[in-house]
Structure 1
Amino acid sequence: MVNLWKKCILTHIEFMFSTVSMVDTTDNINQIIGSNSPEACRMYLTKLEKRGNPQTDTNLLLKLKDSYSRVFSRLPLGMYSNSESYAKMLVRYAELKGIDDPDDARDNFIVARSNCKSFAFVHIAHAQFEVARGQVKKGTSILQKALQVNAKPTELIETAMQKLKAGNYQFLPAEDRESLPGRFHLNLVSYAVCLGGGSAVALSNESIVIKGKRFLVLKMIGQGGSSKVYQVLDQRNQLFAVKYVNLEEADAQTVESYKNEIEHLNRLQQYSDQIIKLYDYEITNSYIYILMECGNLDLSTWLRNRKTVNPLERKLYWKNMLEAVQTIHKHGIVHSDLKPANFVIVNASLKLIDFGIANCIQPDVTSIMTDSQVGTLNYMPPEAIKDTSSQPGKASSKISTKGDVWSLGCIMYCMTYGKTPFQTITNQITKLHAIIDPTHEMEFPDIAEKDLLDVLKRCLVRNPRERISIAELLEHSYLKLQSQQQSPVPAPSDNNDLKRILNELAALQSPNSIARAANVSMTMWNFQ
């Protein structure tokens, strides 16, 4: 009788899918959950995912994660841990988490293994996830523990272990992959070692073709507005970043800004190593592809992952930022939106990556007026905030090279104190007033590096005419190690800070580690 009841429920669910496939997701999932059937819930979620690719469709990813959360909140884990469909949902939820939050995904895999330990595929999925991130020993350990708890079928685990030892990261045969949840057989089984040193990265079966050259998409590493940035691999196993712009979703001004970015990158390639490299691009009526150098991570993420910043690293990155901005200024470009996310770390060096709203000025002009306010508020200079009194009846903003200095000062302030000067002011109107109000004093807590304190105070002067210039900052005593008021700079063999940085780079287990370490070492001593 129970089986007949379940069949009726599933038949009803299938009918719903065939007739109201586009009904609001929230309403649908609530109806499905009401059946208290893991099988029905999984069937619904699998069909929902077929509407697109959650790796590239952020809206779909959010809908899926929300739907899975609703299922788990209404169907307690303790009651359904013996259900294969429930276990498959736990695995798929962990996989989806892994798209943008690997640490959270790892926690969810552990929950799945702890509660659904009798299913072999649960352990294999977690092992696959760890191996994909270079944790081969961890993956091996998970498979060994799966054998110890007698997860079934045992043959599946033994096969995965044999393939792992042989360096084959497709743990499951094709016939078994098809029975696993969602796109497991596409997104988690197709792994390949392509960076050397034991590091592994996930390969999807999607590719991008730019001027006849095919690139395999590894993952999405950023997005904004109508653009997405992917990490890709070419046929020689070299990593690149590809910015994809959907022109059908972009207005004329946005399209112009992306073409502007390509033009700037093209012009500046030969003048500085602190500008991200542009290798190729393709523009059609419906999309733009920009093939660029692939960085390790952006400065914003780097800062977010650190409680404190090492003084030598901060000094190195400050010099890199100044050199990048000096280059664009020399070529008549004011960036107007400098922030940590616009810089990326490439082989221990910081590079400028974005010119989306940059403005060109003539060599004999000190500033320009723009009809729109641009920039990110926490890094926006006072003079860039709309000034309705400058032209009666029309709002305008003043843009100059000194505005970029203010923004750099805000970045350095964040690298020093862990926050931007006005970050604690949450009300946006109040924050705007504080930025332009000369009576609102900025806090500069005392630090050991007095030269750094002077840099911050001279960058964050509200009057742009009195603000320090990029050229002066490059000559500032802060960038001269020998001028520090502390003890003399020790020899490289005694420099614990430098040793720590080099050891961290070596720990990356990447074929570029030696080159990165050499770059850091040479740059540090070039300061002298």
Structure 2
Amino acid sequence: RESSALQAISEMDYDDSDGRQVKREAPISSKHTGLQNTTDNINQIIGSNSPEACWMYLTKLEKRGNPQTDTNLLLKLKDCYSRVFSRLPLRMYSNSESYAKMLVRYAELKGIDDPDDARDNFIVARSNCKGFAFVHIAHAQFEVARGQVKKGTSILQKALQVNAKPTELIETAMQKLKSGNYQFLPAEDRESLPGRFHLNVVNYAVCLAALSNESIVIKGKRFLVLKMIGRGGSSKVYQVLDQRNQLFAVKYVNLEEADAQTVESYKNEREHLNRLQQYSDQIIKLYDYEITNSYIYMLMECGNLDLSTWLRNRKTVNPLERKLYWKNMLEAVQTIHKHGIVHSDLKPANFVIVNASLKLIDFGIANRIQPDVTSIMKDSQVGTLNYMPPEAIKDTSSQPGKASSKISTKGDVWSLGCIMYCMTYGKTPFQTITNQITKLHAIIDPTHEIEFPDIAEKDLLDVLKRCLVRNPRDRISIAELLEHSYLKLQSQQQSPVPAPPDNNDLKRILNELAALQSPNSIARAANVSITMWNFP
């Protein structure tokens, strides 16, 4: 078996990513596609039951390119690591240095497109391979590279407490961190770290140095600009770093380029954020702002990614995550409704994931509802068509030049229903209609039936059907949705799960998961643990 594994590793000099032969030390059948050849090789190597051989193979595979820019290579690597962990269970190989290196590198690869998932994998690695210093250092660098300096420091301190070896590496990393130097290891020790994440940290520090002349000053406080993370109309959103290495988002609005209505909408957004954040954790935090006749700066909480991007990166949505995100959205919208605000443009891009929780970030076209009325009249059609309620589409039969639409809080319910429909079926209710005029008519046409393919979660199906009712008077309310059986834990239809083995290692993992203090992070990490432990 070891001989076969070494032969497979030797074959790594054959570039099968596009069928182009570079160098070959062992015969490979030309009928194999690149993916199939890689799959066959990794399965053959896993059969040797040697973490060292697996690590050697995966290291050579990664040298073919850069997984941060090559999506196919990234997917191939993650698939190979998953195969290794499913066949070589963690409980049998936690004392293997090569296995620990694979756990760390897998977490780093996860971090390329899903930082939350990566964090969960790092926790599992540290829980079970705590004797290796590089495991703790890699996790600490991962956190520091995302602006979480305090968390990185805590990880290194815990590494000393558990007596991870070599202790000198941990102490060196802590000294570097305290001095503001994010190059944790001396040059001669950098290559001892598995994977390439330490290079990312170097790039991070270089990035800060390169951008030291590009900064934003808000009320006398200077923030280094790392990158632009969004733009639209007269506004741009930047990811910035303050002097304490904490990440924030800054929204910059050029008022000189905006018309009077747009200027008013941005001022509304600032006012709403400043007023509502104290009432709900599901509203993005506004820490400070500066407004002049020429510009607006808003210093805000920095999220991981918006819900729209998150959905695009997934073929399916975990039912528990969907349920929790739905509750987050309802709580956010309930808050603005209680304070007399109807949003009228809810869509996935309006929500951002912050520490595994969804938060509402955008109030650009929100309008106040006066205390003595239940709805408002908008003088123009606004919003995003795939999420727009029927009542928001302006009445073409109204007087010329007087087109208006009546919007109430029930309009936001329709939009939320469209978001949930997308999270359930992978598309919005009218997304397949490409002609915009035809789509407009379909939205308002009561004879055009919305399709609701059958799903296992009957409570969820009921939620979708009651949200997507064309007559707003008959549509379910936010308060009713929060009390709906779909959000009751006992309503989940779950298959019985066999009891896990009773051992101290598993208890240790569960304690680590509890420290996450986030239900969906716990769910993801639990799935990682179960996969790696290879429960029957």
* Alignment TM class, shorter chain as reference: 0.5 to 0.7
1:478 counterpart SS class: helix
Aligned 8 A contact 1:381 1:406 in 2 = yes
2:207 counterpart SS class: coil
The equivalent of 1:38 in structure 2 is: 51
Alpha-carbon offset, residue 95 of structure 1: 20
Alpha-carbon offset, residue 484 of structure 1: 3.3
Report the more deviating stretch, 499-508 or 351-360.
499-508
Alpha-carbon offset, residue 289 of structure 1: 0.3
Distance (Å, rounded) in 1 between the aligned partners of 2:340 and 2:485: 27
Rate the CA distance shift 1:401–1:488 in 2: closer, same or farther, 3 A. farther
Alpha-carbon offset, residue 389 of structure 1: 2.3
Aligned 8 A contact 2:176 2:184 in 1 = yes
Distance (Å, rounded) in 1 between the aligned partners of 2:165 and 2:54: 23
Alpha-carbon offset, residue 442 of structure 1: 0.8
Rate the CA distance shift 1:348–1:121 in 2: closer, same or farther, 3 A. closer
- Summarize deviations over 1:140-179 as a string: whole Å, max 9, x none: 9999999999999999999999999999679999999999
Alpha-carbon offset, residue 390 of structure 1: 4.0
Rate the CA distance shift 1:384–1:129 in 2: closer, same or farther, 3 A. same
Distance (Å, rounded) in 2 between the aligned partners of 1:265 and 1:148: 42
Distance (Å, rounded) in 1 between the aligned partners of 2:85 and 2:46: 9
Distance (Å, rounded) in 1 between the aligned partners of 2:54 and 2:529: 56
Which structure has more RCO (C-alpha within 8 Å, separation ≥ 6)? Answer: 2
Report the more deviating stretch, 231-240 or 112-121.
112-121
Report the more deviating stretch, 316-325 or 487-496.
487-496
Rate the CA distance shift 1:192–1:486 in 2: closer, same or farther, 3 A. same
Distance (Å, rounded) in 1 between the aligned partners of 2:381 and 2:353: 29
Alpha-carbon offset, residue 465 of structure 1: 0.5
Report the more deviating stretch, 204-213 or 333-342.
204-213
1:231 counterpart SS class: strand
**Among 117, 122, 125, the residue aligned to 2:130:** 117
Rate the CA distance shift 1:527–1:219 in 2: closer, same or farther, 3 A. farther
Aligned 8 A contact 1:337 1:374 in 2 = yes
Aligned 8 A contact 2:132 2:164 in 1 = yes
Distance (Å, rounded) in 2 between the aligned partners of 1:172 and 1:328: 48
- Summarize deviations over 1:288-336 as a string: whole Å, max 9, x none: 1000111111101111111100000000000000000000000100000
Distance (Å, rounded) in 2 between the aligned partners of 1:256 and 1:220: 24
Distance (Å, rounded) in 2 between the aligned partners of 1:435 and 1:378: 9
The equivalent of 2:6 in structure 1 is: none
Rate the CA distance shift 1:165–1:276 in 2: closer, same or farther, 3 A. closer
Report the more deviating stretch, 66-75 or 378-387.
66-75
Aligned 8 A contact 1:190 1:203 in 2 = no
The equivalent of 1:268 in structure 2 is: 276
Rate the CA distance shift 1:246–1:43 in 2: closer, same or farther, 3 A. farther
Rate the CA distance shift 1:252–1:99 in 2: closer, same or farther, 3 A. farther
Alpha-carbon offset, residue 22 of structure 1: 48
Distance (Å, rounded) in 1 between the aligned partners of 2:495 and 2:89: 61
Alpha-carbon offset, residue 423 of structure 1: 0.6
- Summarize deviations over 1:96-124 as a string: whole Å, max 9, x none: 99999999999999999999999999999
Alpha-carbon offset, residue 69 of structure 1: 36
Alpha-carbon offset, residue 267 of structure 1: 1.3
Distance (Å, rounded) in 2 between the aligned partners of 1:88 and 1:342: 38
Rate the CA distance shift 1:517–1:203 in 2: closer, same or farther, 3 A. farther
Alpha-carbon offset, residue 251 of structure 1: 1.2
Alpha-carbon offset, residue 285 of structure 1: 1.7
1:350 counterpart SS class: strand
Aligned 8 A contact 1:312 1:497 in 2 = no
Give RMSD over aligned pairs. 13.6
For residues 181-196 of structure 1, what are the structure 2 equivalents within 5 Å?
A: 191-192=204-205
**Among 105, 110, 135, the residue aligned to 1:92:** 105
- Summarize deviations over 1:253-306 as a string: whole Å, max 9, x none: 111111100111111121111101111000112111000111111101111111
Report the more deviating stretch, 75-84 or 252-261.
75-84
Aligned 8 A contact 1:506 1:513 in 2 = no
Rate the CA distance shift 1:515–1:157 in 2: closer, same or farther, 3 A. closer
Aligned 8 A contact 1:402 1:469 in 2 = yes
Aligned 8 A contact 2:356 2:520 in 1 = no
2:49 counterpart SS class: coil
Percentage of pairs with the same residue? 94
Distance (Å, rounded) in 1 between the aligned partners of 2:309 and 2:78: 23
Aligned 8 A contact 1:188 1:202 in 2 = no
Aligned 8 A contact 1:481 1:527 in 2 = no
Aligned 8 A contact 1:480 1:527 in 2 = no
Alpha-carbon offset, residue 67 of structure 1: 37
Rate the CA distance shift 1:507–1:58 in 2: closer, same or farther, 3 A. same
Rate the CA distance shift 1:307–1:83 in 2: closer, same or farther, 3 A. closer
Distance (Å, rounded) in 2 between the aligned partners of 1:411 and 1:90: 35
Distance (Å, rounded) in 2 between the aligned partners of 1:276 and 1:99: 24
Rate the CA distance shift 1:450–1:399 in 2: closer, same or farther, 3 A. same
Alpha-carbon offset, residue 363 of structure 1: 2.6
- How high is the TM-score relative to the length of structure 1? 0.60
Aligned 8 A contact 1:451 1:478 in 2 = yes
Mark the runs of 5 or more structure 2 residues left unpaired by the alignment.
1-27
Alpha-carbon offset, residue 448 of structure 1: 0.2
Alpha-carbon offset, residue 520 of structure 1: 15
